[in-house]
Amino acid sequence: MTALQTQTGRRRQAALRLLAAAALTSLLGGCYQSSQTARAEFPSDYRDRHPITVREGSKQVDIFIGQNRGGLTPSQRADVLAFAQNWRHEADSGIVAEVPHGGGADRAASDTMREIHSIFAASGVPRNAVFVRQYRPGAASLTSIKLNYSKMMAEAGPCGQWPKDLGPSADRNYFENRPYWNFGCATQRNLASQVDNPADLVQPRGEAPAWAARRSVAMDKFRKGEDPSGTYTGYDKGKISDLGK
């Protein structure tokens, strides 16, 4: 074997060693990355697994009309009145009224929209806050006037997902006694649906001014060494039962 062949063999062995080291490093890095990904995909805190998100949604009410009847029924008047009151409380935009046009219910839709405008005006909705546009209804679909506006919404979920096995398994989550994925989802979803103003989940409201009259009375009693708490009498006279006495 010549010196050139020996040197070539050594170079090949060195190259093979470098390739093996690179493959081993890549394999270990992949294991570490997959482990970190698994931890990131399954956080222990239910607020991280099912966060409450605040987004812009919409509220819509359909007012169904017939070809030979215009105006609103008593239940539809109640729906339009509640829609107008909710708009004043939670809307982030004006009201969009989509009125059917080009079918057999054009006259009925016009009469119904006139009554809707009157309910809006009586509820304090300005006329310039209502944008009316027309659409062509389908041949086989029910004809309706669609009222909608944009609003802030809070939501969480979806719930009912079970990506991990709850029973005994070789999974790391089972041996570490970590909470299952769906745990806490219903609580987060109920909280998001019950909150009155979704903005309260992001930031607190501004403080109202203190009641100066009551504060002056409490401070004066505190300065005199008296009990600053109020005295309430007669609060229990409305009881209708003496059970437990």
Contact status, residue 156 vs residue 50, Cβ threshold 8 Å = yes
- Kindly state whether residues 71 and 185 are assigned to the same domain: no
Could you report the per-residue pLDDT of 13-53, keeping only the tens digit for each?
A: 666 666 666 666 665 555 544 444 344 457 888 899 899 99
Least confident stretch, 88-97, 98-107, 162-171: 162-171
Same structural domain, 70 and 93: yes
Q: What domain count does the chain have?
A: 2
Question: 107, 112, 102, 104: which is closest to 145 by C-alpha?
Answer: 112
Residue 192 lies in a domain: yes
pTM of the model: 0.60
Q: Tell whether 73 and 188 lie within a shared domain.
A: no
Mean pLDDT for 6-15 is 63
Give pLDDT tens digits for 49-74: 899 999 999 999 999 988 777 789 99
pLDDT tens digits, 203-241: 888 888 888 888 888 899 889 998 888 777 776 676 666
Confidence of residue 3 (pLDDT cuts 50, 70, 90): low
Contact (Cβ atoms closer than 8 angstroms) between residue 52 and residue 155: yes
pLDDT value at position 157? 86
Range of the structural domain that residue 169 is part of: 35-52+156-200
Q: Which CATH number covers residue 91?
A: 3.30.1330.60
Given this model, what pLDDT does residue 34 score?
Answer: 42
Cβ of 148: how many Cβ atoms within 10 Å? 16
Nearest Cα to 145, choosing from 114, 106, 107, 113?
Answer: 113
- Domain assignment present for residue 147? The answer is yes
Q: Give yes or no: residues 118 and 163 share one domain.
A: no
| Of 88, 122, 151, the domain-final residue | 151
Judge contact between 182 and 162, C-beta under 8 A.
yes
